[in-house]
Amino acid sequence: MYGNDFPADDTSSGLLGEVEAAETALREAAERGRHGAAGADPAAYFAEVIAADQKVEPRDWMPEAYRATLIRQIAQHAHSEIIGMQPEGNWITRAPSLKRKAILLAKVQDEAGHGLYLYAAAETLGVSRDELVDLLLAGRQKYSSIFNYPTLSWADMGTIGWLVDGAAIVNQVPLCRCSYGPYARAMIRICKEESFHQRQGYELLHTLAHGTPAQREMAQDSVNRWWYPSLAMFGPPDTDSTHSAQSMAWKIKRFSNDELRQRFVDMCVGQAEVLGLTLPDPALCWNDERGGYDFTQPDYAELMRVIKGAGPCNRQRMEHRRRAHREGAWVRAAAAAYAAKQASKKEQASKKEKVA
């Protein structure tokens, strides 16, 4: 009843095609089966699996640093989904039509679902969801810095779908080919839903951009505020990125931050034209030689400040999450106590049965 009635467009079909190709590759790799077995030298076997583009599975031996990198990355991704519910959750009760309310509610619900898949994928690496949530609440694990920006107007629901989900997809599509099987499989499912989210955001923004002057202004203001933070979602420039080289060798990561950022800009320029909105970068210009757009880099000093906690909403987002966790403690305790009572009743009943 909600959200399925948009006309089809092809804004993200290229990326969706890549997701499908990754899914096919995953299936084919599984059918080929892996050569040999771990044997006496698990490290050599791990290297062979990576080299052959096969998937590493939970019970396989893996270098501790590989495991730690994946836990950090998957947890950060899961936390981002959960914290990322807040900026959009901010507008559910004020959505301007019942159809939009239903779509937004469904979208935020999807994000909670993504968070849960990802925590489950992280758990295959030997860490529990509770531990990861504690690390988030203690401020010892991060989430995407984009969610530390406020949603100041309804148009932000469109821009988050178009630019923020768009940037997330560009980042995540290559992860569908990540060397760690459970993460790759989770990403395939997530990317398909994210692609739908992006389309709905684009459609929302298109409606505003072609609406009343006030709606159009709201849409342009929103794009002005979100453009550079979206570019910053790809992380620091390659020259400053600390985790990249090893992650690329392990085939966790497959393209550099700057490559993905360029791909995103190239994708957005044409879409902005169709929307009739202006990307707030006077330097934006096609470079024939490079075959891509030249553009102004985001302010990486700002990105670092936001990552370190000084963004507009860091404190608010964390306090909101901590409060929900704190206020829910008595409910979780009650559920555990009830389950224990039920289990002990069941046990007593089965003892009686045995005696009888």
Partner 1 sequence: MTAHVEQTGPEPVPTAPGTTSAVPGMTPAAPKPVTKRFEFVLGLADDALVAAQRLAEWCTRGPEMEEDIALANIALDQLGAARLLLTYAGELEGAGRDEDALAYRRDDREFRNCLLVELPNGDFAVTMAKLFFLAAYQVPLYTALAGCGDERLAAIGAKARKESAYHLEHASLWVRRLGDGTDESHRRMQAAVDEVWPYLHELLTPDPAAPVDPATLRADFDSVVSRVLSEATLTVPETSWTPAGGRNGLHTEHLSYLLAELQVLHRAHPGASW
The residue ranges that bind partner 1 (CB under 8 A) are 1-2, 82, 85-86, 89, 92-102, 105-106, 108-109, 112-113, 115-116, 154, 207-208, 211-212, 214-215, 320, 323-324, 327-335, 337-338, 341
Task: Considering the complex, state which of residue 34 and residue 320 has its C-beta at the smaller distance from partner 1.
Answer: 320
Task: Considering the complex, state which of residue 58 and residue 328 has its C-beta at the smaller distance from partner 1.
Answer: 328
Amino acid, single-letter form, for residue 70: L
Which residues have C-beta within 8 Å of that of residue 292, sequence separation ≥ 6?
262, 265, 266, 286
CB of 3 to partner 1, least distance (A): 10
Q: Is beta strand 292-294 parallel, antiparallel or unpaired with respect to 285-287? A: antiparallel
Task: Considering the complex, state which of residue 85 and residue 272 has its C-beta at the smaller distance from partner 1.
Answer: 85
Task: Considering the complex, state which of residue 40 and residue 329 has its C-beta at the smaller distance from partner 1.
Answer: 329
How far apart are the C-alpha atoms of 245 and 251, rounded to whole Å?
Answer: 10
Strand pairing partners for 286? 293
Task: Considering the complex, state which of residue 16 and residue 186 has its C-beta at the smaller distance from partner 1.
Answer: 186
Contacts 24+ apart (CB under 8 A), 170-174: 170/15, 170/234, 170/260, 170/263, 170/264, 170/267, 171/233, 171/234, 171/260, 173/15, 173/18, 173/19, 173/22, 174/253, 174/254, 174/255, 174/260
CB of 284 to partner 1, least distance (A): 29
Task: Considering the complex, state which of residue 148 and residue 257 has its C-beta at the smaller distance from partner 1.
Answer: 148
How far apart are the C-alpha atoms of 305 and 160, rounded to whole Å?
Answer: 21
CB of 178 to partner 1, least distance (A): 23
CB of 21 to partner 1, least distance (A): 30
CB of 85 to partner 1, least distance (A): 5
- With 0-12 CB in 10 A as exposed, 13-18 as middle and 19+ as buried, what is 353? exposed
CB of 320 to partner 1, least distance (A): 7
Task: Considering the complex, state which of residue 101 and residue 254 has its C-beta at the smaller distance from partner 1.
Answer: 101
The DSSP code for 166 is: H
CB of 329 to partner 1, least distance (A): 8
